[in-house]
Amino acid sequence: MSPNGAPTKITQGSQTKGGIGESTLRPDGTLKVTGEFAYSSDMWHEDMLWGQILRSTVAHAEIVSIDTSEALAMPGVYAVLTYDDLPTDVKNYGLEIQDTPVLAHGKVRHHGEPVAIVAADHPETARRAAAKIKVDYRDLPVITDEASATAPDAILVHENRDDHHAGHVPHPNIVHRQPIVRGDVAEARKRADVIVEGEYTFGMQDQAFLGPESGLAVPEEDGGVHLYIATQWLHSDLRQIAPVLGLPEEKVRMTLAGVGGAFGGREDLSMQIHACLLALRTGKPVKIVYNRFESFFGHVHRHPAKLYYEHGATRDGKLTHMKCRIVLDGGAYASASPAVVGNASSLSVGPYVIDDVDIEAIALYTNNPPCGAMRGFGAVQACFAYEAQMDKLAKELGMDPVEFRQLNAMEQGTLMPTGQPVDSPAPVAELLRRVKAMPMPPERQWESSEGADVRQLPGGLSNTTHGEGVVRGVGYAVGIKNVGFSEGFDDYSTAKVRMEVVGGEPVVTVHTAMAEVGQGGVTVHAQIARTELGVTQVTINPADTQVGSAGSTSASRQTYVTGGAVKNACELVREKVLEIGRRKFGSYHPAWATAELLLEGGKVVTDGGEVLGDLADVLEDEVVEVEEEWRHRPTEPFDLRTGQGNGHVQYSFAAHRAVVEVDTELGLVKVIELACAQDVGKALNPLSVLGQIQGGTTQGLGVAVMEEIVVDPKTAKVKNPSFTDYLIPTILDTPTIPVDVLELADEHAPYGLRGIGEAPTLSSTPAVLAAIRDATGLELNRTPVRPEHLTGTQLSAG
């Protein structure tokens, strides 16, 4: 029996038009506005139990003992499991390094680590039972920063490392280190008339997707389990789950349940294995839904970072060299830290031409919360720092900050610090020109005939100013983000496309394992099918593991890679359909053999527009189906000593102009406007493109002025795990976001498209910071900026 909320096919019927390039509306839109779209937390099964996780209350401690007896004795409790109950020798998981315990064994390494799991007949019973589990901890010293991690007598977060980075890192508390050296910095430095240095701090940001981690595990008759789950990559989850359960992968069936946002936070496993373990143990379906408090502990965050930069420039404004050191705090487990290091180092120069660079990026193991993927992935932290440096240099040189950037902007053909040539358009100077040319928002926009509208002033309805002490500032920034998985990763996707005639109409079914997390991949897949196969009716099958891997909905890659796979499968289907047509009708018209043939409007037509026949007549009752993997151009690993290598697939560029108003007396910031210009290669769905750019821009605004997970440096405990204390932008905090979209095709990519989701998250933050600096004259070397940083009233740094 399928549980309530199991996803169904979605069909956009014959009334829906729209191939690529059109703003086709979402096929799941109606379901989502009526409340019928089932998210993972909406799943329901008769007789299901509720799972609950007991998490560590301390950051670093030995577990002396665990007593579950009282919890087990509670009425309504079906199972209480600890490390000792794990069924196989595989007790850890991880994206790249399997260092994360399913349940803590002998030690906890961060605040909120899973220690035990409970299944009960009511969620409150499960919570109360978990609270009755007695865990005796013996505290260990906490590693919280680079100094404590690499001190001579530092306690090791992970002993006996044998992962493939262990051999080249300078200390076992360093997950991965990537140096990049190109040119001769010492020599180039001599040419510099101006040198600026800076030390920057980037706070820990949370993805704060709204749909909490959740899912339903249903035990199956063959001893396997069916997991309905919100994730970014079904097959990656499967690869990590099955060995822990002791099941072959075919006995772990995975179906994507509705996903309420992701932004990187669902790349790692959360409750997947726990729900499966409880379902297999109790023989009953088990649902786990985190609440918001638990969600802050249940997924990795964006790496907080310290960044040390030195840039030089000649008097006429040409960059001479750059040295930087980027220290990312990976927290207790590796997650995506190695790849984040690769990005941070290889993108640390930004979209500029600098031939002589000396770069080092590392990620630490500490007892802070684990950090991994979040939109922008290592490029965000670097962009915050190098853009601050650009403003400092421009100021030092007495140049306009936009002109200075344009003077040094990379273009097609520029070499990355890794030696890789940028071999598609890189319109960095043009994006800056466009964003600067946008009309400025009017001054004193809060004034009305009835006095000040405080809603449009810093402080808002708190009514803290009617314009007194309010100063306007304007700032610019631009960034570069890679698209797709890098460093030699086999980054493929799979699509299965079927064409048949139903009720006299040709219809296409697209089946992939792509995680639709809100980005609109389902919309785009249908558009591609319409464009390639000349149909209107397209059905999108639910994403599951019955079809090959689609790779992750990450790294701005899904439209490129799974979109590419759908396009490729459609082309193969078209060839087969045309073969059938040639076989049946070739003798009636020579064009079947000689002309370039297309499928349009349900017909086979020549490229000259002559109709050769109806698809319905060609296919009759034949079904054409193709499942095929598709790959973009291969990449290479970065050399471990020099960082050289063609590591990236594609680059994506966006520029922002921020206009802010600051109440300098109270340190309150109102962002008035955040204009963006971005090159998207080809906008497959312009409406969705705008949504991605505006959404990404707003997440960048969040970490500029409000969002930060605060970790106590003495205890490594999280101090603000709630939406009361971790603030994300509301509609009042968010300004208008005018967008100028540029479409310069990348000849290597399907339709010339460029991955777009992440670039706007990069430059948004430094643009806001630059605007606040412009308004206040303060240096502001950390983000997010808090009121006390603007008023000078903070008790201590940091």
Residues 528-587 that bind other proteins (CB under 8 A): 539
By CB under 8 A, how many residues form the interface with other proteins?
77
Considering the rule CB under 8 A, would residue 271 count as an interface residue with other proteins? no
Nearer to other proteins, 41 or 144 (CB): 41
Q: How far is CA 85 from CA 91, 102, 160, in A?
A: 10, 11, 24
Nearer to other proteins, 225 or 259 (CB): 259
Take residue 62 and report the two structure tokens written for it: 């030995």
Nearest Cα to 253, choosing from 301, 302, 219? 219
Considering the rule CB under 8 A, would residue 720 count as an interface residue with other proteins? no
Binding segment (CB under 8 A) for other proteins, from list 90-98, 221-229, 450-458, 625-633: 450-458
Considering the rule CB under 8 A, would residue 444 count as an interface residue with other proteins? no
Question: Which residue from 65, 160, 594, 730 is in contact with other proteins, where contact means CB under 8 A?
Answer: 730
DSSP-derived secondary structure letter, 41: G
Considering the rule CB under 8 A, would residue 289 count as an interface residue with other proteins? yes
> Site residues for other proteins, window 498-527 (CB under 8 A)?
517-520
Considering the rule CB under 8 A, would residue 489 count as an interface residue with other proteins? no
Longest dimension (CA), the chain: 87
Give the Cα separation of 149 and 153 in Å (integer): 9
Binding mask 687-716 for other proteins (x = CB under 8 A): xx-xx--xxxxxx-----------------
- DSSP for 127-177, written as a single string: HHHHHT-EEEEEE-PPP-SHHHHHSTTPPPSSSS--STTTTT-SSTTEEEE
> Site residues for other proteins, window 239-268 (CB under 8 A)?
258-263
Q: Minimal distance in Å, beta carbon 2 to other proteins?
A: 14
Residue 503 CB-density burial (10 A; 0-12 exposed, 13-18 middle, 19+ buried): exposed
Give the Cα separation of 363 and 334 in Å (integer): 9
Considering the rule CB under 8 A, would residue 83 count as an interface residue with other proteins? no
Q: Minimal distance in Å, beta carbon 690 to other proteins?
A: 7
Nearer to other proteins, 3 or 647 (CB): 3
Give the Cα separation of 564 and 279 in Å (integer): 37
Binding segment (CB under 8 A) for other proteins, from list 18-26, 278-286, 383-391, 494-502: 18-26
Q: Minimal distance in Å, beta carbon 391 to other proteins?
A: 24
Nearer to other proteins, 293 or 308 (CB): 293
Q: Minimal distance in Å, beta carbon 368 to other proteins?
A: 23
Binding mask 669-688 for other proteins (x = CB under 8 A): ------------------xx
Considering the rule CB under 8 A, would residue 635 count as an interface residue with other proteins? no
Considering the rule CB under 8 A, would residue 8 count as an interface residue with other proteins? yes
Considering the rule CB under 8 A, would residue 759 count as an interface residue with other proteins? no
**What phi and psi values does residue 449 have, to the nearest 5 degrees?**
-65, -20
Helix axes of 379-397 and 337-346: crossing angle, nearest 10 degrees: 20
Nearest Cα to 717, choosing from 80, 61, 241? 61
Nearer to other proteins, 314 or 722 (CB): 722
Q: Minimal distance in Å, beta carbon 304 to other proteins?
A: 20
Considering the rule CB under 8 A, would residue 376 count as an interface residue with other proteins? no
Q: Note whether 305 and 381 are within 8 A (CB).
A: yes
Q: Minimal distance in Å, beta carbon 516 to other proteins?
A: 9
Give the Cα separation of 308 and 18 in Å (integer): 49
User: 3-state SS string over 735-760?
Assistant: CECCEEEECCCCCCCHHHCCCCCCHH
Angle at 381 between CA 379 and CA 385, to 5 degrees: 110
Question: Which residue from 81, 108, 208, 326 is in contact with other proteins, where contact means CB under 8 A?
Answer: 208
> Site residues for other proteins, window 452-471 (CB under 8 A)?
453, 455-456, 461
| Amino acid sitting at position 337 | S
Question: Which residue from 65, 724, 793, 796 is in contact with other proteins, where contact means CB under 8 A?
Answer: 724
Give the Cα separation of 647 and 419 in Å (integer): 9
Q: Which residues 6+ apart lie within 8 Å of 144 measured at CB?
A: 366, 367, 368, 711, 713, 716
Q: Minimal distance in Å, beta carbon 687 to other proteins?
A: 4
> Helices (H), strands (E): how many in the chain?
19, 34
Element (H, E) at 323: strand 319-329
Considering the rule CB under 8 A, would residue 734 count as an interface residue with other proteins? yes
Question: Which residue from 18, 19, 114, 211 is in contact with other proteins, where contact means CB under 8 A?
Answer: 211
> Site residues for other proteins, window 27-46 (CB under 8 A)?
27-39, 41-42, 44
Q: Minimal distance in Å, beta carbon 294 to other proteins?
A: 10
Question: Which residue from 723, 745, 752, 787 is in contact with other proteins, where contact means CB under 8 A?
Answer: 723
